[in-house]
Amino acid sequence: MNKNIIIVFVRNPELGKVKTRLSKTIGNEDALKIYKILLKHTESVLGTATSDKVVYYSEEIQKNDLWNASIYQKKLQKGTDLGARMQMAFETAFKDSYEKVVIVGSDLFDLKSIHLEKAFEALENHEVVLGPSLDGGYYLLGMTKLHPSLFKNKQWGTDSVLESTLKDLKELNVKLLEALNDIDTFEDLQNQPELLKKIKKL
């Protein structure tokens, strides 16, 4: 059995329900197009990974979609907030006997397979690995055993998440990866000329 697993949280790609901060500037239709591009990019990166993979849907499990059921386990997010949902996903992975568990976001055009490789490498001799995002959150979290405090008392979706998470980790051996830009606002989008080019072609 593979001892490594990557978890990815996705929103079901529905008009008006994804990239809501971005949609205020560019409209719901273009926000949905952007999110679909980001999902496709994420899948292309994860598809190269040798670990097991599980996709957690926000609303309902979709069968015939981008995420091939022969490659990805499919589950539903459960919990009152993002922290509770992530904790449940990590708990499930550890109960399923995985030894290195990494969760990654689905809105990173900068994500590359090397970031996933480095995350699993870091877990050889670190308890936790964290990929900071430039907006004060994080795009990747990996661990070798559950640390429940990381999922509690956080203002999810704000620029305080990374700082408060690092405070919880101060007693642990932590590896920080390269900081990346996730796509939540129009400013984030402007920093990604390749992504802007793609949406103009649609």
Percent of the chain whose pLDDT exceeds 70: 98
More confident residue, 184 or 139: 139
pLDDT of residue 13: 87
- Neighbour count for residue 82 (Cβ, 10 Å): 16
CATH number at residue 195: 3.90.550.10
pLDDT of residue 192: 81
Q: How confident is the model at residue 201 (pLDDT cuts 50, 70, 90)?
A: low
Domain that holds residue 21: 4-201
Tell whether the model's pLDDT for residue 38 goes beyond 90: yes
No. of H helices and E strands in the chain?
A: 7, 7
pLDDT of residue 26: 84
Taking alpha carbons only, the member of 102, 107, 165, 154 closest to residue 129 is 102
Question: Which runs of consecutive H residues, i.e. helices, occur in 47-160?
Answer: 82-95, 113-122
Q: Taking all residues of the chain, what is their mean pLDDT, rounded to a whole number?
A: 92
Tell whether the model's pLDDT for residue 194 goes beyond 60: yes
Question: Considering its fold, how many domains does the chain have in total?
Answer: 1
Taking alpha carbons only, the member of 99, 107, 98 closest to residue 73 is 98
Cα dist. 82→46, 79, 136, 157, 158 in Å? 21, 7, 16, 9, 12
Percent of the chain whose pLDDT exceeds 90: 70
pLDDT of residue 187: 80
Tell whether the model's pLDDT for residue 188 goes beyond 70: yes
